[in-house]
Structure 1
Amino acid sequence: MVPPYGSFSPFCSSPSGASDQGDVSISTAGPLPHCNLFFRSLLKVTSPPALTTLFPFRDVTGLGNGRPLGPITTETSVEDLVATRAINRAGTGVGLRCDVGRLGQEGSLGDIAQLITSIFCFLIVSFLIFRTIRRRAAVGRIEILYFFLLFALTLPLRILTTANVLEQGSAALAVISAIHVALNVGMMWILLGNAIVATQVVPDGTPTSIIPMSLIFLVLFGFTVYIALDQAFGISRWFMLTSGRAEVGQLRNIALWTLSILWPYLASIVYLAIMLYVVYYHLEETRPCFWFILSFLLFAASQAVLFLASQPLCEASNGKVTSGFLSTLLETAAVAMLFAAWSSITEAEWDEPIYMEEYNSGYKY
């Protein structure tokens, strides 16, 4: 059965028919910060508590070092020992067959692969930022630097929201997850804004480019943060889960899904189309097209790996890692290819002969 539009159940939960008795249902759940928002929302549900939704596979979550302390039922309270232990060690996800335990709980290192990979990728992106700053004459330097800086900011946030270092259901994790989700939404607008600047509709590096780009970013960021926090804390009660809707199938937020799931994919496709048009038809170059296409394919691969390989990796590693680190590596590789593509169509110094010839011809790239 196809989930309704706006449903996060496929991304945060194991299939409803899955069980630990050898079910072969394919899980598309991955370590998303969005799942932390729904965990917090479900944890606030009472009469009865939604603990059976959060922990349906109690015998495979590692409670009591692999020995269940007792059944989690609709009568279980969040103050009960079995519930406390389950919440304390819970990883990213809602009702997953397999998750990585929180750092420091029952000997868990958290998602150590995601933690190490995020640090490594942060260093790589920092180097790209340094290289971008040094390309003083490059067209679109400020705009692409804007994008690289935002991507760099998401990497430490990945550690906090998907490497299982903070307690699930906590206010701190919910707030940081909301910021992480909103930052991704705004970042994809900045990426698309780079493509618009490449068409020279507005001059690059000027207030006419930076100010509108920044204002739209702030609107998207602020709106997404509000929706995410509303989901987690029930600010307006519009997205609040109640006892009658506290099921995996009810993990639905159309606004959040549109902004944080659909929008990034659409933005990346439109960005690719515009850049291929600019490079191939205006610059009459073919090699940079290869870098742009490769960057897009790496991004697509990162999403496929995130959703299709997470649960198999978790089960194969006995709850030690998910596919989050592979997705982070592939996304960083996509950004590196983006830098390579941008570098190949711009010049680093004002006095380079090739740059001056192209500038005088009427097209800055």
Structure 2
Amino acid sequence: MLVQFGKYDAICSEVALIVCPLLGTDLGLEPVCYSRNVEINGTVIFQPATCIIHIAALFMCGIMVYHIRSKYTAVGRKEIVQFFYLYAFSETLAIFLDSAIIPTYSKVYAYFAAVYVGLGTAIFWTLMVNGFVGFQLWEDGTPKSLWFLRISSLGLFALGFVISLATFISIGSLNPTNTVGLWIVQLLFPIICIAIYVISQVILVLRTLDDRWPLGDILFGVLAFVAACVLMFGVSAQICSGVKHYLDGTFFGVLCLLLAVMMVYKYWDSITREDLEFSVGSKQAAWEVKDSSMGNSDTDVITATGSSVTHESGQQGGGYGGKGFGGRDNGRLAPYPGGGNGKGGQASGGYPPSGYSGNF
């Protein structure tokens, strides 16, 4: 297929995009081959298999958002989650547009399709901005960072919405036959954003991380995106004819895009670690409290692990092996002042101390 800049004729003849029924003549642009439709309770559902992938994408997106939000101290947590929120909203809208639950002949179809294009523009912009969060050019998670991302994403959404709607309903110089603006915001702009994101992340991994495994996540994500473009825009008609209209390139394209989004999450998860000092969870903790005001003979030691707390008085004279449970000295437990061989203690370091019948 030969793709011309600013033209949808070749693209829409290959794959049934959401915008294709609104372009070209009054009848729209139709693909030479598309998947079978099904009828449910008197309603004809287009692209049923593709709709299943959209629904699966919503479930996967919910799982990824849950895990992102559980990493309380990870860098860029609040920024990257906006990318997945926008993706989930886009997939929800695609269910109604791909399946023609919102009919293509309806007057509101053009507005919903314009919202879909605007969401796509905002999604790729959000991904690109997240590519610079790891460089710590600004403090992540702050109101300044979040509102910059939100406002700029809203601006790109408005740009995509206005250009696409003007193309659909013929406003100004834009019309269904003059699709250069729509072609730029829907097809060219995402490729530019992905290229910038990938380059920035490769630089981030090579310059700041010792681990090179995240490069594999980037590679698999890029391959999934390229596969989606090839399957949708390159061989959709061949796939449709080969499987006798049961599926077409849209099904495999949406599936590969889902895999690419999952690799974005996998990559982000692999390069972020929680700061356990500030994390929230049921982590085991161990600490000790020394009361030096009690003198050499009275030293209180508190050791806590999880929910169990033990208290030992230094008056017994011999913690472990007749020595107090103090700091380390040359890799061994150093004695407390005056620990020595206490009551029931053993100089040999045996445990438990002979003659000691108390509980730790």
The verdict on how the C-alpha distance between 1:269 and 1:136 changes in structure 2, with shifts beyond 3 A counting, is same
Q: Deviations over 1:159-208 (max 9, x none)?
A: 22223333223222221111111101111010011011111111111122
* Residue among 74, 95, 109 paired with 2:30: 95
1:226 Cα offset (Å) = 1.0
State the secondary structure of the residue aligned to 1:212.
helix
SS in 2 for 1:170: coil
Other-structure match for 1:177: 113
User: Gaps spanning 5+ residues in structure 1: where?
Assistant: 14-28, 44-50, 55-93, 242-250, 354-365
Distance in 2 separating the partners of 1:300 and 1:238? 33
Counterpart of 1:31 in structure 2 is 16
Cα deviation, residue 36, structure 1: 3.2
1:273 paired to 2:199: yes
- Paired residue secondary structure (2:104): coil
- Equivalence for 1:69: none
Amino acid at match of 2:154: L
Query: Aligned to 1:298, which of 190, 215, 224?
Result: 224
For 1:102 and 1:237, locate their aligned partners in 2 and report how far apart those are by CA, in whole Å.
36
Q: Which residue of 2 aligns with 1:240?
A: 175
Residue 201 (structure 1) aligns with: 137
Q: Distance in 1 between matches of 2:34 and 2:174?
A: 26
- Give the partner amino acid of 1:99: Y
Q: Contact 2:167–2:178 at 8 Å: present in 1 too?
A: no
Displacement of 1:346 after TM fit?
A: 1.0
Tell me which structure has the larger Cα radius of gyration.
2
Deviation at 1:129, TM superposition (A): 0.5
The structure where strand makes up a greater share of residues is 2
Cα distance in 1 between the residues matched to 2:110 and 2:275: 45
String of CA shifts for 1:96-127, please: whole Å, max 9, x gaps.
32234665499954211101111112101110
Corresponding residue for residue 298 of structure 2:
none
Cα distance, 1:213 vs structure 2: 1.6
**TM-score with structure 1 setting the length:** 0.70
Asked if structure 2 preserves the Cα contact closer than 8 Å seen for 1:102 and 1:166, the reply is no
Is 1:332 the equivalent of 2:258? yes
Alignment of 1:108-257 (within 5 A): 109-234=45-170, 236-241=171-176, 251-257=177-183
Equivalence for 1:46: none
**Change in 2 beyond 3 A, CA 1:211/1:162:** same
| Residue 10 (structure 1) aligned with residue 5 (structure 2) | no
Aligned equivalents of 1:304 and 1:180: distance in 2? 21
Q: Which is worse superposed, 156-165 or 122-131?
A: 156-165
Deviations 1:239-272 (A, max 9, x none): 235xxxxxxxxx4422211111011011111101
Residue of structure 2 equivalent to 1:47:
none
Q: Deviations over 1:321-365 (max 9, x none)?
A: 322221122111111111111111111353289xxxxxxxxxxxx
Paired letter, 1:261 = L
Is 2:277 the counterpart of 1:342? no
Deviation string, structure 1 residues 48-68 (Cα, Å, up to 9, x no partner): xxx5xx5xxxxxxxxxxxxxx
Q: CA deviation at 1:3?
A: 5.6
Contact 2:90–2:120 (CA under 8 A) maintained in structure 1: yes
Q: Which has the higher contact order (CA 8 A, sep 6+)?
A: 1
Q: Over aligned residue pairs, what C-alpha RMSD do you find?
A: 2.4
Q: Identity over the aligned pairs, expressed in percent?
A: 24
State the partner residue of 1:356.
Answer: none
Where does structure 1 differ by over 6 angstroms across 4 or more consecutive aligned residues? none
Q: How many residues are treated as equivalent by the alignment?
A: 278
- Residues 1:171 and 1:107: Cα distance change in structure 2 (over 3 Å): closer
The match for 1:19 is none
| TM-score, scaled relative to structure 2 | 0.71
Q: Which runs of 5+ in 2 are unaligned?
A: 280-360
The CA distance in 2 between the partners of 1:237 and 1:169, in whole Å, is 23
Letter of the 1:264 counterpart:
P
- The answer to whether the 8 Å contact 1:230/1:239 transfers is yes
Could you tell me whether the CA contact under 8 Å between 2:164 and 2:181 is conserved in 1?
Answer: no
CA distance, structure 2, for counterparts of residue 209 and residue 101 of structure 1: 46
Name the CA distance, whole Å, in 1 between partners of 2:17 and 2:140.
34
